[in-house]
Structure 1
Protein backbone atom coordinates (compact mmCIF):
# COMPACT_ATOMS: atom_id res chain seq x y z
CA UNK A 1 0.00 0.00 0.00
CA UNK A 2 1.31 3.42 -0.95
CA UNK A 3 1.71 5.90 1.92
CA UNK A 4 0.85 9.52 1.27
CA UNK A 5 1.45 12.46 3.60
CA UNK A 6 -0.40 15.70 2.82
CA UNK A 7 0.49 19.03 4.37
CA UNK A 8 -2.62 21.22 4.41
CA UNK A 9 -6.31 20.43 4.77
CA UNK A 10 -7.83 23.24 2.71
CA UNK A 11 -9.77 22.72 -0.51
CA UNK A 12 -6.85 21.16 -2.39
CA UNK A 13 -5.59 18.99 0.47
CA UNK A 14 -9.10 17.78 1.31
CA UNK A 15 -9.86 16.90 -2.31
CA UNK A 16 -6.55 15.08 -2.62
CA UNK A 17 -7.08 13.15 0.62
CA UNK A 18 -10.53 12.07 -0.54
CA UNK A 19 -9.17 10.81 -3.87
CA UNK A 20 -6.32 8.86 -2.25
CA UNK A 21 -8.63 7.36 0.36
CA UNK A 22 -11.01 6.26 -2.40
CA UNK A 23 -8.06 4.44 -3.97
CA UNK A 24 -7.50 2.58 -0.71
CA UNK A 25 -4.14 4.18 0.05
CA UNK A 26 -2.67 5.10 3.44
CA UNK A 27 -3.28 8.85 3.95
CA UNK A 28 -2.05 11.17 6.70
CA UNK A 29 -3.05 14.85 6.66
CA UNK A 30 -0.93 17.30 8.63
CA UNK A 31 -2.04 20.77 9.67
CA UNK A 32 -1.59 23.22 12.52
CA UNK A 33 -4.99 22.43 14.01
CA UNK A 34 -5.15 18.73 13.20
CA UNK A 35 -8.50 17.11 12.56
CA UNK A 36 -10.69 14.12 13.27
CA UNK A 37 -9.17 10.90 11.99
CA UNK A 38 -11.34 8.30 10.32
CA UNK A 39 -10.69 4.77 9.17
CA UNK A 40 -9.88 6.24 5.76
CA UNK A 41 -7.81 9.35 6.53
CA UNK A 42 -5.62 10.07 9.56
CA UNK A 43 -5.10 13.64 10.80
CA UNK A 44 -2.37 15.06 13.02
CA UNK A 45 -1.51 18.52 14.34
CA UNK A 46 1.97 19.72 13.48
CA UNK A 47 4.00 22.88 13.02
CA UNK A 48 5.49 22.18 9.59
CA UNK A 49 8.25 24.75 10.04
CA UNK A 50 9.71 22.31 12.62
CA UNK A 51 11.80 20.25 10.23
CA UNK A 52 12.41 17.43 12.70
CA UNK A 53 8.69 17.09 13.42
CA UNK A 54 7.79 17.14 9.74
CA UNK A 55 10.51 14.63 8.93
CA UNK A 56 9.25 12.31 11.64
CA UNK A 57 5.67 12.52 10.40
CA UNK A 58 6.77 11.86 6.81
CA UNK A 59 8.95 8.85 7.58
CA UNK A 60 8.00 5.96 5.33
CA UNK A 61 5.98 8.15 2.99
CA UNK A 62 6.23 7.45 -0.71
CA UNK A 63 4.96 10.94 -1.53
CA UNK A 64 4.85 14.16 0.49
CA UNK A 65 2.34 16.67 -0.89
CA UNK A 66 2.67 20.36 -0.17
CA UNK A 67 -0.92 21.68 -0.16
CA UNK A 68 -0.26 24.32 2.47
CA UNK A 69 -1.69 27.79 1.97
CA UNK A 70 -0.32 30.54 4.21
CA UNK A 71 -2.45 33.66 4.55
CA UNK A 72 -2.43 35.54 1.26
CA UNK A 73 -0.80 38.64 2.71
CA UNK A 74 1.89 36.65 4.56
CA UNK A 75 3.47 34.71 1.72
CA UNK A 76 6.73 36.68 1.90
CA UNK A 77 7.20 35.90 5.59
CA UNK A 78 5.53 32.50 6.00
CA UNK A 79 6.58 30.60 2.89
CA UNK A 80 10.42 30.68 3.22
CA UNK A 81 10.67 28.79 6.54
CA UNK A 82 7.85 26.42 5.60
CA UNK A 83 9.32 25.69 2.19
CA UNK A 84 12.79 25.14 3.61
CA UNK A 85 11.37 22.63 6.05
CA UNK A 86 9.51 20.78 3.28
CA UNK A 87 12.63 20.55 1.13
CA UNK A 88 14.70 19.25 4.02
CA UNK A 89 12.05 16.73 5.09
CA UNK A 90 11.81 15.37 1.55
CA UNK A 91 15.60 15.14 1.39
CA UNK A 92 15.82 13.25 4.69
CA UNK A 93 12.94 10.83 4.04
CA UNK A 94 13.36 10.21 0.32
CA UNK A 95 9.69 10.94 -0.31
CA UNK A 96 8.81 12.55 -3.62
CA UNK A 97 7.84 16.15 -2.87
CA UNK A 98 4.83 17.26 -4.92
CA UNK A 99 3.75 20.88 -4.55
CA UNK A 100 0.30 22.23 -5.35
CA UNK A 101 1.39 25.36 -7.18
CA UNK A 102 -0.20 28.23 -9.04
CA UNK A 103 0.48 30.62 -11.92
CA UNK A 104 1.70 33.61 -9.91
CA UNK A 105 5.37 33.13 -10.79
CA UNK A 106 4.84 33.90 -14.47
CA UNK A 107 4.98 37.40 -15.91
CA UNK A 108 2.27 36.88 -18.50
CA UNK A 109 1.07 40.30 -19.61
CA UNK A 110 -1.76 38.58 -21.44
CA UNK A 111 0.34 35.82 -23.06
CA UNK A 112 -0.65 32.17 -22.84
CA UNK A 113 1.26 30.52 -20.00
CA UNK A 114 3.19 27.32 -20.65
CA UNK A 115 5.46 25.35 -18.38
CA UNK A 116 8.51 26.88 -20.06
CA UNK A 117 7.23 30.46 -19.72
CA UNK A 118 9.73 32.58 -17.74
CA UNK A 119 9.23 32.79 -13.99
CA UNK A 120 9.70 36.54 -14.14
CA UNK A 121 6.96 37.92 -11.91
CA UNK A 122 7.90 41.17 -10.22
CA UNK A 123 5.10 41.37 -7.63
CA UNK A 124 5.92 40.07 -4.15
CA UNK A 125 3.72 36.97 -4.22
CA UNK A 126 4.77 35.93 -7.70
CA UNK A 127 8.46 36.38 -6.85
CA UNK A 128 8.03 34.21 -3.75
CA UNK A 129 6.50 31.37 -5.74
CA UNK A 130 9.15 31.65 -8.45
CA UNK A 131 11.99 31.43 -5.91
CA UNK A 132 10.40 28.42 -4.27
CA UNK A 133 10.43 26.42 -7.47
CA UNK A 134 13.92 27.60 -8.44
CA UNK A 135 15.27 26.42 -5.08
CA UNK A 136 13.58 23.04 -5.45
CA UNK A 137 14.78 22.60 -9.02
CA UNK A 138 18.41 23.28 -8.03
CA UNK A 139 18.28 20.72 -5.26
CA UNK A 140 16.66 18.17 -7.55
CA UNK A 141 19.42 18.67 -10.12
CA UNK A 142 22.04 18.14 -7.43
CA UNK A 143 20.40 14.81 -6.66
CA UNK A 144 19.37 15.77 -3.14
CA UNK A 145 15.67 14.99 -3.57
CA UNK A 146 12.92 14.22 -6.05
CA UNK A 147 10.50 17.07 -6.59
CA UNK A 148 7.80 18.29 -8.93
CA UNK A 149 5.20 21.04 -8.93
CA UNK A 150 1.67 21.00 -10.36
CA UNK A 151 0.37 24.48 -11.15
CA UNK A 152 -3.32 25.28 -11.25
CA UNK A 153 -5.36 28.26 -12.28
CA UNK A 154 -8.07 29.65 -9.97
CA UNK A 155 -9.96 26.60 -8.84
CA UNK A 156 -13.59 25.61 -8.46
CA UNK A 157 -15.35 22.40 -7.58
CA UNK A 158 -17.21 20.46 -4.88
CA UNK A 159 -14.83 21.29 -2.01
CA UNK A 160 -13.95 24.84 -3.07
CA UNK A 161 -13.88 27.22 -0.11
CA UNK A 162 -14.73 30.86 0.49
CA UNK A 163 -11.28 31.94 -0.71
CA UNK A 164 -12.04 30.81 -4.27
CA UNK A 165 -13.25 33.48 -6.70
CA UNK A 166 -15.68 30.92 -8.14
CA UNK A 167 -16.38 29.31 -4.78
CA UNK A 168 -19.57 28.88 -2.78
CA UNK A 169 -20.40 32.57 -2.45
CA UNK A 170 -20.36 33.08 -6.21
CA UNK A 171 -22.06 29.79 -7.10
CA UNK A 172 -24.81 30.16 -4.49
CA UNK A 173 -25.59 33.73 -5.54
CA UNK A 174 -25.86 32.74 -9.20
CA UNK A 175 -28.10 29.76 -8.43
CA UNK A 176 -30.35 31.89 -6.23
CA UNK A 177 -30.68 34.57 -8.90
CA UNK A 178 -29.11 37.09 -6.53
CA UNK A 179 -26.47 39.66 -7.39
CA UNK A 180 -23.05 38.04 -7.37
CA UNK A 181 -20.39 40.49 -6.20
CA UNK A 182 -16.84 39.90 -7.41
CA UNK A 183 -13.62 41.65 -6.48
CA UNK A 184 -12.22 41.31 -9.99
CA UNK A 185 -13.14 42.05 -13.60
CA UNK A 186 -15.37 39.51 -15.30
CA UNK A 187 -15.00 39.80 -19.08
CA UNK A 188 -11.51 38.50 -19.88
CA UNK A 189 -10.70 34.89 -20.89
CA UNK A 190 -9.55 33.02 -17.79
CA UNK A 191 -8.43 29.47 -17.10
CA UNK A 192 -10.26 27.69 -14.27
CA UNK A 193 -9.00 24.46 -12.72
CA UNK A 194 -11.44 21.83 -11.49
CA UNK A 195 -10.38 20.62 -8.05
CA UNK A 196 -10.74 16.86 -8.74
CA UNK A 197 -8.51 17.32 -11.82
CA UNK A 198 -6.00 19.11 -9.59
CA UNK A 199 -5.96 16.16 -7.20
CA UNK A 200 -5.59 13.64 -10.01
CA UNK A 201 -2.68 15.59 -11.47
CA UNK A 202 -0.93 15.74 -8.09
CA UNK A 203 -1.22 11.98 -7.64
CA UNK A 204 0.03 11.29 -11.15
CA UNK A 205 2.98 13.67 -10.75
CA UNK A 206 4.02 11.91 -7.55
CA UNK A 207 4.04 8.48 -9.19
CA UNK A 208 5.45 9.38 -12.62
CA UNK A 209 9.27 9.59 -12.69
CA UNK A 210 9.13 11.47 -16.01
CA UNK A 211 7.36 14.30 -14.18
CA UNK A 212 10.04 14.79 -11.52
CA UNK A 213 12.38 17.72 -11.74
CA UNK A 214 9.88 19.79 -13.71
CA UNK A 215 6.70 21.77 -13.16
CA UNK A 216 3.41 20.93 -14.86
CA UNK A 217 0.05 22.56 -15.40
CA UNK A 218 -3.14 20.85 -14.30
CA UNK A 219 -5.00 19.65 -17.40
CA UNK A 220 -7.78 22.21 -17.55
CA UNK A 221 -10.85 22.75 -19.76
CA UNK A 222 -11.08 25.66 -22.18
CA UNK A 223 -10.92 29.16 -20.68
CA UNK A 224 -14.08 31.07 -19.86
CA UNK A 225 -14.66 34.64 -18.78
CA UNK A 226 -16.09 34.99 -15.28
CA UNK A 227 -19.37 36.04 -16.89
CA UNK A 228 -19.39 33.01 -19.18
CA UNK A 229 -18.76 30.75 -16.20
CA UNK A 230 -21.68 32.31 -14.33
CA UNK A 231 -23.91 31.88 -17.38
CA UNK A 232 -23.05 28.19 -17.62
CA UNK A 233 -23.69 27.67 -13.91
CA UNK A 234 -27.05 29.45 -14.17
CA UNK A 235 -28.03 27.44 -17.24
CA UNK A 236 -27.23 24.12 -15.58
CA UNK A 237 -29.07 25.11 -12.40
CA UNK A 238 -32.12 26.43 -14.26
CA UNK A 239 -31.52 29.87 -12.77
CA UNK A 240 -32.01 33.22 -14.51
CA UNK A 241 -29.15 34.91 -16.32
CA UNK A 242 -26.51 35.81 -13.72
CA UNK A 243 -26.31 39.32 -12.35
CA UNK A 244 -22.59 39.82 -11.74
CA UNK A 245 -21.50 43.15 -10.29
CA UNK A 246 -17.74 43.62 -9.90
CA UNK A 247 -16.69 45.86 -7.04
CA UNK A 248 -14.85 48.81 -8.63
CA UNK A 249 -11.07 48.48 -8.45
CA UNK A 250 -10.86 51.87 -6.73
CA UNK A 251 -13.10 50.60 -3.94
CA UNK A 252 -11.03 47.43 -3.52
CA UNK A 253 -7.87 49.52 -3.29
CA UNK A 254 -9.46 51.83 -0.74
CA UNK A 255 -10.61 48.91 1.40
CA UNK A 256 -7.12 47.48 1.12
CA UNK A 257 -5.87 50.31 3.32
CA UNK A 258 -7.45 48.53 6.29
CA UNK A 259 -7.64 44.96 4.95
CA UNK A 260 -4.34 43.20 4.13
CA UNK A 261 -6.25 40.50 2.22
CA UNK A 262 -8.02 42.99 -0.06
CA UNK A 263 -4.77 44.87 -0.53
CA UNK A 264 -3.16 41.71 -1.86
CA UNK A 265 -6.12 40.97 -4.13
CA UNK A 266 -5.88 44.46 -5.58
CA UNK A 267 -2.17 43.93 -6.26
CA UNK A 268 -2.89 41.02 -8.62
CA UNK A 269 -6.05 42.39 -10.23
CA UNK A 270 -4.34 42.14 -13.62
CA UNK A 271 -4.99 38.38 -13.45
CA UNK A 272 -8.59 39.22 -14.33
CA UNK A 273 -8.24 42.50 -16.23
CA UNK A 274 -6.44 40.82 -19.13
CA UNK A 275 -6.44 37.28 -20.58
CA UNK A 276 -5.10 34.81 -18.03
CA UNK A 277 -4.86 31.51 -19.85
CA UNK A 278 -2.62 28.50 -19.47
CA UNK A 279 -1.75 25.77 -21.96
CA UNK A 280 -1.98 22.23 -20.56
CA UNK A 281 -1.20 20.06 -23.58
CA UNK A 282 2.24 18.96 -22.35
CA UNK A 283 1.05 18.00 -18.89
CA UNK A 284 -1.91 16.05 -20.27
CA UNK A 285 0.54 13.90 -22.24
CA UNK A 286 2.96 13.33 -19.35
CA UNK A 287 0.50 13.00 -16.48
CA UNK A 288 -2.19 11.17 -18.41
CA UNK A 289 -4.95 13.29 -16.86
CA UNK A 290 -7.86 14.43 -19.00
CA UNK A 291 -9.58 17.68 -18.04
CA UNK A 292 -13.15 17.23 -16.88
CA UNK A 293 -15.56 18.78 -19.43
CA UNK A 294 -17.32 21.93 -18.25
CA UNK A 295 -20.79 20.39 -18.24
CA UNK A 296 -19.73 17.61 -15.87
CA UNK A 297 -17.59 19.87 -13.66
CA UNK A 298 -20.46 22.31 -13.16
CA UNK A 299 -23.00 19.55 -12.57
CA UNK A 300 -20.83 17.94 -9.89
CA UNK A 301 -20.14 21.31 -8.26
CA UNK A 302 -23.86 22.12 -8.08
CA UNK A 303 -24.68 18.67 -6.71
CA UNK A 304 -22.18 19.25 -3.90
CA UNK A 305 -23.70 22.66 -3.12
CA UNK A 306 -27.19 21.13 -2.94
CA UNK A 307 -25.92 18.43 -0.61
CA UNK A 308 -24.23 21.02 1.60
CA UNK A 309 -27.54 22.88 1.91
CA UNK A 310 -29.41 19.83 3.21
CA UNK A 311 -29.67 19.86 7.04
CA UNK A 312 -27.96 16.91 8.70
Structure 2
Protein backbone atom coordinates (compact mmCIF):
# COMPACT_ATOMS: atom_id res chain seq x y z
CA UNK A 1 0.00 0.00 0.00
CA UNK A 2 1.22 3.50 -0.81
CA UNK A 3 2.30 5.76 2.02
CA UNK A 4 0.00 8.65 2.82
CA UNK A 5 1.46 11.02 0.25
CA UNK A 6 -0.97 10.99 -2.66
CA UNK A 7 -2.24 14.20 -4.18
CA UNK A 8 -5.80 13.45 -5.27
CA UNK A 9 -7.47 15.57 -7.94
CA UNK A 10 -11.26 15.35 -8.04
CA UNK A 11 -12.47 16.36 -11.49
CA UNK A 12 -10.68 15.89 -14.81
CA UNK A 13 -11.95 18.89 -16.73
CA UNK A 14 -9.45 21.44 -18.09
CA UNK A 15 -8.37 22.70 -14.67
CA UNK A 16 -8.16 19.21 -13.19
CA UNK A 17 -5.94 18.10 -16.09
CA UNK A 18 -3.73 21.16 -15.66
CA UNK A 19 -3.45 20.37 -11.93
CA UNK A 20 -2.49 16.77 -12.62
CA UNK A 21 0.22 17.80 -15.08
CA UNK A 22 1.61 20.42 -12.71
CA UNK A 23 1.73 17.98 -9.78
CA UNK A 24 3.51 15.41 -11.95
CA UNK A 25 5.97 18.08 -13.03
CA UNK A 26 6.74 18.63 -9.35
CA UNK A 27 7.36 14.91 -8.82
CA UNK A 28 4.22 14.33 -6.75
CA UNK A 29 2.29 11.05 -6.55
CA UNK A 30 -1.03 11.83 -8.25
CA UNK A 31 -4.41 10.14 -8.50
CA UNK A 32 -7.32 11.40 -10.60
CA UNK A 33 -10.96 10.85 -9.67
CA UNK A 34 -14.08 11.31 -11.77
CA UNK A 35 -17.46 9.71 -12.41
CA UNK A 36 -16.43 7.72 -15.48
CA UNK A 37 -12.96 6.44 -14.60
CA UNK A 38 -11.73 7.73 -17.97
CA UNK A 39 -9.71 10.86 -18.70
CA UNK A 40 -6.90 12.24 -20.86
CA UNK A 41 -4.33 11.74 -18.11
CA UNK A 42 -0.75 10.43 -18.42
CA UNK A 43 -0.41 6.65 -18.19
CA UNK A 44 1.37 6.98 -14.84
CA UNK A 45 -1.75 8.52 -13.26
CA UNK A 46 -4.52 6.17 -12.13
CA UNK A 47 -7.99 7.49 -12.88
CA UNK A 48 -10.46 6.17 -10.33
CA UNK A 49 -14.15 5.88 -11.08
CA UNK A 50 -15.92 7.19 -8.01
CA UNK A 51 -19.10 9.04 -7.17
CA UNK A 52 -18.13 11.72 -4.67
CA UNK A 53 -21.78 12.26 -3.79
CA UNK A 54 -21.41 8.97 -1.89
CA UNK A 55 -19.62 9.52 1.42
CA UNK A 56 -18.18 6.01 1.65
CA UNK A 57 -16.69 6.33 -1.84
CA UNK A 58 -15.19 9.65 -0.84
CA UNK A 59 -13.63 8.11 2.26
CA UNK A 60 -12.08 5.34 0.17
CA UNK A 61 -10.30 7.64 -2.28
CA UNK A 62 -8.66 9.56 0.58
CA UNK A 63 -7.10 6.65 2.45
CA UNK A 64 -3.59 7.39 1.16
CA UNK A 65 -4.00 11.09 0.44
CA UNK A 66 -2.12 14.01 1.93
CA UNK A 67 -3.84 16.70 -0.18
CA UNK A 68 -7.07 16.63 -2.16
CA UNK A 69 -7.95 19.22 -4.81
CA UNK A 70 -11.63 19.85 -5.48
CA UNK A 71 -11.64 20.82 -9.16
CA UNK A 72 -15.12 19.50 -9.82
CA UNK A 73 -16.78 20.86 -12.92
CA UNK A 74 -20.48 20.26 -13.50
CA UNK A 75 -23.23 21.74 -15.70
CA UNK A 76 -24.86 24.77 -14.10
CA UNK A 77 -28.11 22.90 -13.56
CA UNK A 78 -26.40 20.41 -11.25
CA UNK A 79 -24.77 23.03 -9.07
CA UNK A 80 -27.56 23.60 -6.50
CA UNK A 81 -28.21 19.92 -5.80
CA UNK A 82 -24.86 18.21 -6.39
CA UNK A 83 -22.07 20.62 -5.46
CA UNK A 84 -23.15 21.03 -1.78
CA UNK A 85 -23.20 17.24 -1.36
CA UNK A 86 -19.73 16.94 -2.84
CA UNK A 87 -18.37 19.70 -0.62
CA UNK A 88 -19.90 18.22 2.54
CA UNK A 89 -18.54 14.76 1.72
CA UNK A 90 -15.07 16.11 1.01
CA UNK A 91 -15.10 18.03 4.29
CA UNK A 92 -16.20 14.94 6.24
CA UNK A 93 -13.78 12.53 4.58
CA UNK A 94 -10.86 14.98 4.72
CA UNK A 95 -11.51 15.56 8.39
CA UNK A 96 -11.56 11.84 9.18
CA UNK A 97 -8.37 11.15 7.20
CA UNK A 98 -6.44 14.32 8.13
CA UNK A 99 -6.21 15.38 4.49
CA UNK A 100 -5.68 18.98 3.42
CA UNK A 101 -8.46 20.19 1.10
CA UNK A 102 -7.76 22.76 -1.62
CA UNK A 103 -10.89 24.13 -3.29
CA UNK A 104 -10.49 25.52 -6.83
CA UNK A 105 -13.10 28.26 -7.00
CA UNK A 106 -14.20 31.08 -9.29
CA UNK A 107 -15.29 34.62 -8.43
CA UNK A 108 -19.06 34.14 -8.68
CA UNK A 109 -19.69 34.39 -4.92
CA UNK A 110 -18.78 38.09 -4.89
CA UNK A 111 -21.50 39.06 -7.35
CA UNK A 112 -21.22 42.45 -9.09
CA UNK A 113 -18.65 44.80 -7.54
CA UNK A 114 -17.45 48.31 -8.39
CA UNK A 115 -13.79 47.72 -7.49
CA UNK A 116 -11.18 45.03 -8.22
CA UNK A 117 -12.05 41.75 -6.55
CA UNK A 118 -10.16 41.12 -3.31
CA UNK A 119 -10.48 38.42 -0.66
CA UNK A 120 -12.09 40.62 2.01
CA UNK A 121 -15.13 41.47 -0.06
CA UNK A 122 -18.55 40.50 1.27
CA UNK A 123 -20.44 38.06 -0.89
CA UNK A 124 -23.30 39.59 -2.89
CA UNK A 125 -25.07 36.76 -4.74
CA UNK A 126 -27.48 37.88 -7.45
CA UNK A 127 -28.96 34.52 -8.42
CA UNK A 128 -28.75 30.79 -8.01
CA UNK A 129 -25.25 30.21 -9.41
CA UNK A 130 -23.63 33.00 -7.40
CA UNK A 131 -25.56 31.90 -4.30
CA UNK A 132 -24.34 28.31 -4.58
CA UNK A 133 -20.73 29.42 -4.89
CA UNK A 134 -21.06 31.65 -1.83
CA UNK A 135 -22.68 28.79 0.09
CA UNK A 136 -19.90 26.33 -0.78
CA UNK A 137 -17.12 28.71 0.23
CA UNK A 138 -18.86 29.66 3.47
CA UNK A 139 -19.48 26.01 4.36
CA UNK A 140 -15.82 25.15 3.85
CA UNK A 141 -14.38 28.11 5.75
CA UNK A 142 -16.83 27.60 8.62
CA UNK A 143 -15.65 23.99 8.90
CA UNK A 144 -12.04 25.20 9.10
CA UNK A 145 -12.92 27.73 11.81
CA UNK A 146 -14.59 24.93 13.77
CA UNK A 147 -11.35 22.92 13.61
CA UNK A 148 -12.81 20.13 11.50
CA UNK A 149 -10.08 20.15 8.84
CA UNK A 150 -7.26 22.00 7.14
CA UNK A 151 -8.49 23.67 3.96
CA UNK A 152 -7.96 26.64 1.70
CA UNK A 153 -9.62 28.25 -1.32
CA UNK A 154 -7.82 29.35 -4.48
CA UNK A 155 -9.81 31.55 -6.84
CA UNK A 156 -9.35 32.51 -10.46
CA UNK A 157 -11.32 34.38 -13.08
CA UNK A 158 -11.97 33.06 -16.60
CA UNK A 159 -9.15 30.70 -17.50
CA UNK A 160 -7.84 29.82 -20.92
CA UNK A 161 -5.29 27.35 -22.23
CA UNK A 162 -5.00 23.69 -23.30
CA UNK A 163 -8.24 21.67 -23.06
CA UNK A 164 -10.27 24.75 -22.03
CA UNK A 165 -12.50 24.49 -25.10
CA UNK A 166 -15.58 26.10 -23.54
CA UNK A 167 -13.75 29.03 -21.96
CA UNK A 168 -14.52 32.59 -23.00
CA UNK A 169 -11.14 32.50 -24.73
CA UNK A 170 -11.65 28.92 -25.87
CA UNK A 171 -12.60 27.24 -29.11
CA UNK A 172 -14.99 30.06 -30.07
CA UNK A 173 -11.91 32.26 -30.32
CA UNK A 174 -8.83 30.13 -31.09
CA UNK A 175 -10.50 27.44 -33.19
CA UNK A 176 -12.81 29.85 -34.98
CA UNK A 177 -9.84 31.98 -35.98
CA UNK A 178 -7.99 28.94 -37.29
CA UNK A 179 -11.05 27.91 -39.29
CA UNK A 180 -11.75 31.39 -40.65
CA UNK A 181 -14.98 31.76 -38.67
CA UNK A 182 -16.15 34.76 -36.68
CA UNK A 183 -14.97 34.98 -33.08
CA UNK A 184 -17.94 34.63 -30.73
CA UNK A 185 -17.97 36.83 -27.64
CA UNK A 186 -20.53 37.76 -25.00
CA UNK A 187 -21.06 41.21 -23.51
CA UNK A 188 -18.87 44.27 -23.98
CA UNK A 189 -15.45 43.24 -25.36
CA UNK A 190 -14.01 46.68 -24.60
CA UNK A 191 -14.19 46.52 -20.80
CA UNK A 192 -11.13 45.42 -18.83
CA UNK A 193 -11.25 41.75 -17.85
CA UNK A 194 -8.86 39.56 -15.88
CA UNK A 195 -8.20 36.27 -17.64
CA UNK A 196 -5.89 33.67 -16.09
CA UNK A 197 -3.70 31.16 -17.91
CA UNK A 198 -4.89 27.73 -16.81
CA UNK A 199 -1.35 26.55 -16.03
CA UNK A 200 -0.90 29.51 -13.66
CA UNK A 201 -4.19 28.67 -11.95
CA UNK A 202 -3.03 25.07 -11.44
CA UNK A 203 0.44 26.09 -10.24
CA UNK A 204 -1.05 28.52 -7.74
CA UNK A 205 -3.34 25.82 -6.36
CA UNK A 206 -0.39 23.47 -5.81
CA UNK A 207 1.35 26.20 -3.81
CA UNK A 208 -1.73 26.41 -1.60
CA UNK A 209 -1.57 22.64 -1.23
CA UNK A 210 2.05 22.80 -0.09
CA UNK A 211 2.01 25.83 2.19
CA UNK A 212 0.71 25.60 5.76
CA UNK A 213 0.13 29.36 5.91
CA UNK A 214 -2.51 29.00 3.19
CA UNK A 215 -4.86 27.11 5.54
CA UNK A 216 -8.05 28.87 6.56
CA UNK A 217 -7.72 31.59 3.94
CA UNK A 218 -9.10 32.55 0.54
CA UNK A 219 -6.48 33.39 -2.09
CA UNK A 220 -6.71 34.92 -5.54
CA UNK A 221 -4.21 33.18 -7.80
CA UNK A 222 -2.16 35.78 -9.74
CA UNK A 223 -3.47 36.82 -13.15
CA UNK A 224 -1.60 38.66 -15.88
CA UNK A 225 -2.48 42.36 -16.16
CA UNK A 226 -6.10 42.89 -17.17
CA UNK A 227 -6.80 43.77 -20.79
CA UNK A 228 -9.95 44.17 -22.79
CA UNK A 229 -11.22 40.98 -24.36
CA UNK A 230 -10.90 42.63 -27.78
CA UNK A 231 -7.22 43.36 -27.11
CA UNK A 232 -6.64 39.73 -26.21
CA UNK A 233 -8.46 38.53 -29.33
CA UNK A 234 -6.28 40.87 -31.40
CA UNK A 235 -3.18 39.35 -29.79
CA UNK A 236 -4.44 35.84 -30.49
CA UNK A 237 -5.28 36.79 -34.07
CA UNK A 238 -1.82 38.22 -34.59
CA UNK A 239 -0.23 35.06 -33.23
CA UNK A 240 -2.29 32.95 -35.62
CA UNK A 241 -1.75 35.37 -38.53
CA UNK A 242 -5.49 35.88 -38.89
CA UNK A 243 -7.76 38.92 -39.23
CA UNK A 244 -10.60 38.59 -36.71
CA UNK A 245 -14.27 38.88 -37.52
CA UNK A 246 -16.64 39.26 -34.59
CA UNK A 247 -20.05 37.98 -33.58
CA UNK A 248 -20.93 39.60 -30.25
CA UNK A 249 -23.95 38.70 -28.12
CA UNK A 250 -25.04 41.71 -26.06
CA UNK A 251 -27.47 41.58 -23.14
CA UNK A 252 -30.53 41.80 -25.39
CA UNK A 253 -29.33 38.93 -27.57
CA UNK A 254 -28.50 36.80 -24.53
CA UNK A 255 -31.99 37.39 -23.11
CA UNK A 256 -33.69 36.49 -26.39
CA UNK A 257 -31.58 33.46 -27.28
CA UNK A 258 -31.88 32.30 -23.68
CA UNK A 259 -35.48 31.40 -24.46
CA UNK A 260 -34.29 28.42 -26.51
CA UNK A 261 -30.53 28.14 -25.85
CA UNK A 262 -29.72 26.48 -22.48
CA UNK A 263 -26.20 27.96 -22.30
CA UNK A 264 -27.42 31.51 -22.86
CA UNK A 265 -30.27 30.98 -20.41
CA UNK A 266 -27.81 29.82 -17.76
CA UNK A 267 -25.46 32.71 -18.48
CA UNK A 268 -27.98 35.54 -18.04
CA UNK A 269 -27.27 35.79 -14.32
CA UNK A 270 -23.56 36.30 -15.03
CA UNK A 271 -23.77 38.99 -17.70
CA UNK A 272 -22.39 41.57 -15.27
CA UNK A 273 -19.01 39.85 -15.59
CA UNK A 274 -18.86 40.75 -19.28
CA UNK A 275 -20.58 44.17 -19.24
CA UNK A 276 -18.35 45.97 -16.75
CA UNK A 277 -14.70 45.96 -15.72
CA UNK A 278 -13.91 42.62 -14.09
CA UNK A 279 -10.50 42.88 -12.44
CA UNK A 280 -8.84 40.56 -9.93
CA UNK A 281 -6.58 41.83 -7.13
CA UNK A 282 -4.00 39.12 -6.36
CA UNK A 283 -1.75 41.22 -4.14
CA UNK A 284 -2.43 39.05 -1.08
CA UNK A 285 -1.08 35.96 -2.82
CA UNK A 286 1.92 37.82 -4.24
CA UNK A 287 2.76 39.22 -0.81
CA UNK A 288 2.93 35.74 0.72
CA UNK A 289 4.23 33.42 -2.00
CA UNK A 290 6.82 33.57 -4.77
CA UNK A 291 5.04 33.40 -8.11
CA UNK A 292 5.99 34.36 -11.66
CA UNK A 293 2.84 35.05 -13.65
CA UNK A 294 2.86 33.91 -17.26
CA UNK A 295 2.45 36.84 -19.64
CA UNK A 296 -0.54 36.84 -21.96
CA UNK A 297 1.92 36.76 -24.87
CA UNK A 298 3.48 33.49 -23.67
CA UNK A 299 0.12 32.01 -22.64
CA UNK A 300 -1.36 32.80 -26.05
CA UNK A 301 1.63 31.19 -27.75
CA UNK A 302 1.27 27.97 -25.75
CA UNK A 303 -2.50 27.88 -26.22
CA UNK A 304 -2.25 28.58 -29.95
CA UNK A 305 0.33 25.82 -30.35
CA UNK A 306 -2.00 23.40 -28.55
CA UNK A 307 -4.97 24.23 -30.80
CA UNK A 308 -2.81 23.92 -33.92
CA UNK A 309 -1.58 20.53 -32.73
CA UNK A 310 -5.17 19.33 -32.22
CA UNK A 311 -5.91 20.05 -35.87
CA UNK A 312 -3.16 17.74 -37.11
Fold conserved between structures, TM > 0.5? yes
Work out which of the residue numbers 171, 195, 211 in structure 2 matches 1:192.
195
Q: Is the 8 A contact 1:73 1:261 kept in 2?
A: no
Taking only aligned residues, the RMSD between alpha carbons, in angstroms, comes to 1.6
Work out which of the residue numbers 4, 24, 30 in structure 1 matches 2:7.
4
Partner of 2:53: 49
Q: Is the 8 A contact 1:21 1:40 kept in 2?
A: no
Work out which of the residue numbers 99, 116, 119 in structure 1 matches 2:120.
116
202-211 or 29-38: which moved more?
29-38
Q: How big is each residue's C-alpha offset from its partner over 1:73-127, in whole Å with a ceiling of 9 and x where there is no partner?
A: 3311221111111111111111110011000011333321011111222321111
- TM-score, normalization: structure 2? 0.94
Q: Is the 8 A contact 1:174 1:230 kept in 2?
A: no
Partner of 1:63: 67
2-structure distance, mates of 1:274, 1:292: 24
**What is the Cα deviation at residue 258 of structure 1?**
3.1
Partner of 2:33: 30
Q: Is the 8 A contact 1:109 1:274 kept in 2?
A: no
Q: How does 1:168-247 map onto structure 2 within 5 Å?
A: 168-240=171-243, 242-247=244-249
Q: How does 1:282-297 map onto structure 2 within 5 Å?
A: 282-297=284-299
Q: How big is each residue's C-alpha offset from its partner over 1:232-288, in whole Å with a ceiling of 9 and x where there is no partner?
A: 111222222x22221243232223223333211122111000001111111123232
**What is the Cα deviation at residue 38 of structure 1?**
5.0
**What is the Cα deviation at residue 209 of structure 1?**
0.8
Partner of 2:280: 278
Gap regions ≥5 residues in structure 2: none
Q: How many residues align?
A: 308
Does the residue aligned with 2:193 lie in a helix, a strand or coil?
coil
Does the residue aligned with 2:93 lie in a helix, a strand or coil?
helix
2-structure distance, mates of 1:158, 1:39: 18
- TM-score, normalization: structure 1? 0.94
1-structure distance, mates of 2:170, 2:126: 28
Partner of 1:72: 76
